[in-house]
Amino acid sequence: MHFIEVEHLNKSFTVRKKREKGHFLREKTVIHALQDVSFSIDKGELVGYIGPNGAGKSTSVKILSGILTPDSGCANVGGFTPWKDRKNHVQHIGVVFGQRMQLWWDVPILDSYQLLRDIYKVERNAFEKRLEELADALDLTSLLHTPLRLMSLGQRMRAELCGSLLHSPKLLFLDEPTIGLDAVSKLKLREFLQKENKEKGTTILLTTHDMEDIAALCSRVMVLGHGKKLYDGHLPELLARYDTQRTINVRYDADPDFSALPDSCSLQKDGDNYIITYAPETIPTAEMLALLQKAGSMQEMTAQSQNIDHLIARMYKEMDL
Amino acid sequence: MNTVKLYLHSMKMLLKSQLQYPWSFCLQTIAQIVMEGGEMMAVLLILNRFQALNQWTGGDLLFFFGIMSITFYLTECFGRGITGNFAALIRSGNLDTFFLRPRGIMTQVLCHAIDPRRIGCIAVGAAALALGCRESGVIWTVPKIFLFTEAVFFGMLLILGLFLIEAVFAVHSVKSIELVNAVTYGGRSACQYPIDIYPGPLRVLFGTLAPFALVLHVPATVILDKPLMGMDGAIAFLCPMAGLMFFIIMYFVFQKAMKYYRSTGS
């Protein structure tokens, strides 16, 4: 028995569009947000959930967290069906939306936390202990008496995260938690999530467009596109499929002679720099380097692996997303 | 019990957050006193011109005005979560947040806002009521106090129920604010005068569909020792129940609307 089991989930929305002519009649379009999505997640896993905008990520998170009811399919999260047993289910989950604050805006965050304690019926001693622990890990101790509205985005995000973990949920949904954060805040947040996952065994489902978050945190990724699950497995394996090209930057003393280069590689000139892109499958790297050395006397050379965002963009393109 | 505790805790926190802006709070409270005071002046001016309206003396009219103001603004003060802008709650996504917490949706809607500035309006209403009682020579007895409390309480439930109509419409993405305002704010304006001064259709509206007349006017008539269209005064204790019934019906309609919300998405 897995911790989260999702089978054949379907969800569609009816969108009414205004016709160009006429004011009352509207055209109905059905959008299939999720089509036959199934997966399972074990306790303590940290899973990345990626896909382009409109792929159905948020819809699945909303269904799994109990906000929406699917058209068909079943799900079991820690023994509960989210949409049928909402109150019992949400007692054990935490949700953080990067673009929406759930704490109260004008009061010190400590007041918000105390209200959350009453909402989740957390026992007083357990609450104090947990708050101390979280405030310490998230660097919030000195901010507890500051209202949310006076905080920076990074501080707010940490405060939100603290609020969503006060009742020690077994499962944490994160929807773009690092959006808009600076590098330092991002790294801190990642470090915290890793620790929370390892030490408390909290299962985390992370939705994001930030591939670095995924690469740094997640052992497993699921790719969603047009409401369908397209990939489920390790990130390196996924990347390897699309990571078929290498780029070399070279600079020469004098104008080089590239006539020996095969047609399969592309050549770009950027000032004094030449950017050569090739597929190691057709020309092995050793051969390529030999060819470049023959072209002239080399001044400088750097080799780059492809940027992860480019890879994902290529993957989306090939999957026709 | 736990829900009441949560509500009180929320109230405390919301009051604290309102008082983060003390000047704004004071000025708005004063503005509300001026606004509601103006409405009361209108009643006083009518009294100045006419000695009586139908069977009602000036003191009676002030009493009607007072009981309506107190009821309506107590509702707005403590039930702001419902009487506020429900459509905005959906648009901002806050309603989604309520689904993520292990409490009833209605409880959380009620707990998410109060409007303590209405204290000014309530004070004006109380002043009108006191003045009305003096003018009309109302003698308070235990049953009358009970009846008054009952009327105000069920009146609040009625008003909450009426505002829930707007919430239900908002879930179905229908803009209804003007329509519903006709019975909520319109009801307040109309029913701060005794119902029998209005023509038939309005009496039907406020006697059955939005039963302010049953909930507030019948008890008020009895408290003022006026004849109740030949009926026994004891019936006045039953009439305000209409407010409770209205609220219960709207509560279930609201729960149904929440089911619809969860199945259509946002």
Residue with tokens 């403590």: B78
Q: What are phi and psi of A107, to 5 degrees?
A: -110, 155
Shortest Cα distance, chain A CAs vs residue B67, angstroms: 34
- Facing residue for B99 by CB, picked from A11, A67, A100: A67
Contact status of A121 with chain B (Cβ, < 8 Å): yes
Judge whether residue A87 has pLDDT over 90. Answer: yes
Q: Does the CB of B199 have a partner CB in chain A at under 8 Å?
A: no
- Model pLDDT for residues A232-263, shown as the tens digit of each residue: 999 888 888 887 788 888 888 888 888 888 88
| DSSP for residue A267 | E
Closest-CA residue of B relative to A113 is: B13
Q: What is the mean pLDDT of residues A106-122?
A: 93
Q: Tell me whether B102 touches chain A (CB under 8 Å).
A: yes
The candidate with the shortest Cα–Cα distance to B98, out of A71, A11, A116, A202, is A116
Specify the 3-state DSSP secondary structure of A118: helix
Structure confidence at residue A19 (pLDDT): 65
Q: Is the ipTM of this complex over 0.95?
A: no
Residue linked to tokens 């500051």:
A146
- Report the chain B residue with the minimal C-alpha distance to residue A94: B100
A167 CA: distance to closest CA in chain B (Å): 11
Is any Cβ of chain B less than 8 angstroms from the Cβ of A91? yes
Given an 8 Å threshold on Cβ–Cβ distance, is B16 in contact with A111?
yes
- Using a CB–CB cutoff of 8 Å, tell me whether B6 touches chain A: yes
User: Which of B89, B262, B266 should one mutate to test binding to chain A, selecting the residue with the greatest count of A CBs within 10 A?
Assistant: B262
Instruction: Categorize the per-residue pLDDT at A20 as very low, low, confident or very high, splitting at 50, 70 and 90.
Output: low
For the ranges A10-19, A232-241, A273-282, B127-136, the lowest mean pLDDT is seen at: A10-19
pLDDT at A21 over 80: no
Residues of B in contact with A54 (CB under 8 A): none
Buried residues in B233-259 as b, exposed as e (16+ CB within 10 A)? beebbebbebbbebbeebeeebeebbe
Say how far apart CA B46 and CA B35 lie, in whole Å.
Answer: 17
What size, in residues, is chain A? 321
* Closest chain B residue by Cα to residue A72: B263
What is the per-residue pLDDT for A18? 66
Q: Which residues contact B107 (CB under 8 A, 6 or more apart)?
A: B3, B6, B7
Nearest C-alpha in B relative to A117: B6
pTM: 0.85
Tell me whether strands A298-304 and A246-252 are parallel, antiparallel or unpaired: antiparallel
More confident residue, A17 or B2: B2
Q: Please answer yes or no on whether A104 and B100 come within 8 Å at the CB atom.
A: no
> Phi/psi zone of residue A168: left (φ > 0), alpha (ψ -120 to 50 degrees), beta?
left
Residues 6+ apart with CB under 8 A from A35: A10, A226, A227, A228
Distance CA B34, CA B112 (A): 27
Question: DSSP letter at B229?
Answer: T
CB atoms within 10 A of CB A303: 13
Instruction: For CA atoms B21, B22, B27, B32, give the dihedral sign.
Output: positive
In sequence order, the 6+-apart residues with CB closer than 8 A to the CB of A246 are: A277, A278, A279, A280, A285, A303, A304, A305, A306
Tokens of B252: 């279930």
Interaxial angle between packed helices B22-49 and B58-78, expressed in degrees from 0 to 180 and rounded to the nearest 10: 160
Looking at the predicted structure, is the pLDDT value of residue A309 above 90? no
Low-confidence ranges of chain B (pLDDT < 70): 265-266
pLDDT, position A24: 65
pLDDT at A9: 92
Tell if the CB–CB gap between A90 and B100 is shorter than 8 Å.
yes
Contacts of B97 in chain A (CB under 8 A): 100, 102
CB-CB: which of A83, A102, A107 is closest to B97? A102
Is B93 in CB contact (< 8 Å) with chain A? yes
Chain A interface includes B9 (CB < 8 A): yes
Q: How far is the alpha carbon of B265 from chain A, nearest alpha carbon, in Å?
A: 6
Residue A72 pLDDT > 70:
yes
Instruction: Tell me if B244 sits within 8 A of B211, measured CB to CB.
Output: no
Phi, psi for residue A233 in degrees, rounded to 5: 170, -155
Confidence of residue A28 (pLDDT cuts 50, 70, 90): confident
Distance separating alpha carbons of residues B102 and B240, to the nearest angstrom: 33
